[in-house]
Structure 1
Amino acid sequence: MPHEYELDVVHADAFTDVPYGGNPATVILGADKLSRDTMHKISTEFNVRETVFVSDSDVADYRFRYMTPDREINFSGHATVAAFHALLSEGVAETTNQITMFTLETNTGVFEVEAVRDERSQVYEIQITHQPPQFLTTYDPKDYANALGLTLADIMAPKPVQTVSTGTPHLMIPVSTYRSLERIRPDWNALEEMRRDSDYVSIQVFSRDTREETSDAHARHFAPGLGVPEDPVSGSAAGGMASYMVRYGMMDSSNPVTSIVIEQGDFLGRPGKIYVEIRGNEDKIEQVKVSGKAVTVLRGKLYI
């Protein structure tokens, strides 16, 4: 049976420059003709955490739609990095300078994205401007300590357990040590029951205790409600997490811009790094930028 047409597919690992590290995403280029139902079938066929569909936009340079095998989600940081990596590496997006600006339409609004080219390696770092942070509901730390298999002493008091959103709401849970992160044993039923009555979509647990001296925090991300028990590296949560760190004095914000390096993925054997820039201070955060690199591990054709 003949196919109607074919599309370019790139599978890339985001927030890393090493294959099989970071967070994987499948990118479908030229997806303008695809229906939502077809997108869902394709994402189920590939069965990766996120498949991102790239098409033209009337209000921006590109429109991205993000699918998990279970549902459509409004935004994915690592899939956005992977998709812009694919657009650039496949020669679809044109760049004229070391820094090229793009606009991106998603279900949560229009974002500004910068592609910054390293002159030595010619590798692009993708930088996404998030929405200014919203600091939302606070929760009882004891409930979450129990659901994560930790003790109340593991939670970094008096910092709040709080939902923070820079576009997508995530619950921020600071813990005292890297060892606390190691000891997490989630009670998935308890976590999902609490999420149903909450204002967040997933949970970011983090510590200032890191594996590398040049990093500022180590994180783990849990999203069972999205069908992803643990996500290797979450870009959408990194913006809220870095904002939380500045807001509650976990970082020195005396300079106009605070740079924060986040490690993640080591507990899943997929280490990655996210770079966040916060403009402002603990009293007022004006701008949040999240950036990372990606590497192609597969390219091919999708037949429709």
Structure 2
Amino acid sequence: MTHRRELDILHVDAFTDTPFGGNPASVVLNADRLDDETLYKIAREMNTRETVFVSHSDIANFKFRYLTPKREIDFSGHPTIAAFHALLREDMIDAISDVTMVSVETNVGVLNIEIVKNEATDRHEIQIMHQQPMFLETYDPKDYLEALGLSLADLHSPNPIQTVSTGTPHLMIPVSTMRSLDRIKPNWDRLKELQKDSDYVSISVFTRETRDPSSDAQVRHFAPALGVYEDPVSGSAAGSLGSYIIRYGFMEPTRPVTSIVIEQGHYVDRPGRIFVEVRGDQENIEQVKVSGTGVVVFKGKLFY
């Protein structure tokens, strides 16, 4: 019998405490010896929205690489949440204190992570420090609203349609009501065409109207260029959204931080919640932190 190598793979639902909710990711541990060709083959084989490969780092506690079935991306929030829950599950992190500090090397740099243990629930919340926001290009609202099957009447005027990045650039589109979110019917070909000469990787359409009264915003997230037509819950986009909300006065900043709860995923039957903390005010956002929980759904072996 031919000897084959094997890898541990865990499937984790991020930004939820409930299996089959939130955003799923595949986590490949001990990926140090995998070449790029094998990484891509595994990502296509798993065929989840993102697969995160965990390996050794010389400058941080771990190194993460993120691949969709089509391409590598520099950073993604929900696989990061998923990876740390997998590491906790496999006892590869010693998180015995209330707060454990960990660093992770990514293509956007070294990120500082806080693992916070909730003693009441015995669950861990993963808190990711994002980069300070950059407010980038603005775009013609008419083009994008038409591509989403909406009209100018749906836009929460006079706020701009703008790219915001806290590590990964996402386009923010504010709409007035939940009914606008309900009525979205994307023209995928048109959205892909609009993105060709743009500075963003995906689109977040949001409203302050929420299903849960404890939430502050509801969002739908589209990334057709990445092969993900509607993403259930996007952590990297949540950092951009939280920054946009503060910059344009959708919420009044509080001191020392403004806490923002974002709900997402209801339109694809995978509801989840993201917790964003923004330190600063409209004129100067000093720090952005994105947090979430996760649940390991299954673990298996990959033979190759």
- Measured against the shorter chain, the TM-score band is over 0.9
Classify the secondary structure of the residue corresponding to 1:54. strand
Classify the secondary structure of the residue corresponding to 2:86. helix
Alpha-carbon distance change, 2 to 244 in structure 1, aligned in 2, over 3 angstroms? same
Kindly state the Cα deviation for residue 5 of structure 1 after the two structures are TM-superposed.
3.0
Classify the secondary structure of the residue corresponding to 1:200. coil
Classify the secondary structure of the residue corresponding to 1:237. helix
Establish whether residue 63 from structure 1 lines up as the match of residue 63 from structure 2. yes
What is aligned with 2:41? 41
The one-letter amino acid of 2:295's match is: V
Kindly state the Cα deviation for residue 2 of structure 1 after the two structures are TM-superposed.
3.2
The one-letter amino acid of 1:21's match is: G
Kindly state the Cα deviation for residue 254 of structure 1 after the two structures are TM-superposed.
3.5
- Could you give the per-residue CA deviations for residues 196-252 of structure 1, whole angstroms, max 9, x where no partner exists? 111101100000000010000000000000010110000000000000000000011
Of stretches 156-165 and 93-102 in structure 1, the one that deviates more from structure 2 is: 93-102
What is aligned with 1:16? 16
What is aligned with 2:188? 188
User: TM-score if structure 2 supplies the norm length?
Assistant: 0.99
Contact 1:127 1:289 in 2 (8 A): yes
Question: Partners in 2 of 1:295 and 1:74 — Cα distance?
Answer: 24
What is aligned with 2:302? 302
Question: Partners in 2 of 1:252 and 1:240 — Cα distance?
Answer: 17
Kindly state the Cα deviation for residue 8 of structure 1 after the two structures are TM-superposed.
1.4
Identity of aligned residues (%): 62
Classify the secondary structure of the residue corresponding to 2:132. coil
Contact 1:3 1:303 in 2 (8 A): no
- Could you give the per-residue CA deviations for residues 119-140 of structure 1, whole angstroms, max 9, x where no partner exists? 1221100000000000000111
The one-letter amino acid of 1:62's match is: F
Contact 1:104 1:112 in 2 (8 A): yes
- Could you give the per-residue CA deviations for residues 237-293 of structure 1, whole angstroms, max 9, x where no partner exists? 000000000000001103220000000000000000000000001110000000000
Question: Partners in 2 of 1:235 and 1:103 — Cα distance?
Answer: 17
- Could you give the per-residue CA deviations for residues 126-163 of structure 1, whole angstroms, max 9, x where no partner exists? 00000000000011111111000001010100010000
What is aligned with 1:202? 202
Classify the secondary structure of the residue corresponding to 1:38. helix
What is aligned with 1:224? 224
Question: Partners in 1 of 2:284 and 2:254 — Cα distance?
Answer: 12
Kindly state the Cα deviation for residue 4 of structure 1 after the two structures are TM-superposed.
4.1
Question: Partners in 1 of 2:66 and 2:2 — Cα distance?
Answer: 28
Q: 5+ unaligned residues in a row in structure 2: which ranges?
A: none
What is aligned with 1:78? 78
Question: Partners in 2 of 1:262 and 1:26 — Cα distance?
Answer: 23
What is aligned with 2:151? 151
Classify the secondary structure of the residue corresponding to 2:251. coil
Alpha-carbon distance change, 147 to 21 in structure 1, aligned in 2, over 3 angstroms? same
Contact 1:10 1:28 in 2 (8 A): yes
Question: Partners in 2 of 1:8 and 1:93 — Cα distance?
Answer: 16
What is aligned with 1:126? 126
Establish whether residue 275 from structure 1 lines up as the match of residue 283 from structure 2. no
The one-letter amino acid of 1:80's match is: T
Question: Partners in 1 of 2:56 and 2:80 — Cα distance?
Answer: 15
The one-letter amino acid of 1:216's match is: D
Question: Partners in 2 of 1:96 and 1:271 — Cα distance?
Answer: 30
Classify the secondary structure of the residue corresponding to 2:300. strand
Question: Partners in 2 of 1:243 and 1:116 — Cα distance?
Answer: 23
Contact 1:6 1:301 in 2 (8 A): yes
Root-mean-square deviation over aligned CA pairs: 0.8
What is aligned with 1:98? 98
Classify the secondary structure of the residue corresponding to 2:181. helix
Question: Partners in 2 of 1:16 and 1:222 — Cα distance?
Answer: 20
The one-letter amino acid of 2:167's match is: G
Alpha-carbon distance change, 178 to 3 in structure 1, aligned in 2, over 3 angstroms? farther
Establish whether residue 166 from structure 1 lines up as the match of residue 166 from structure 2. yes
Establish whether residue 264 from structure 1 lines up as the match of residue 264 from structure 2. yes
User: TM-score if structure 1 supplies the norm length?
Assistant: 0.99
What is aligned with 2:109? 109
The one-letter amino acid of 1:27's match is: V
Classify the secondary structure of the residue corresponding to 2:193. helix
Alpha-carbon distance change, 2 to 121 in structure 1, aligned in 2, over 3 angstroms? farther
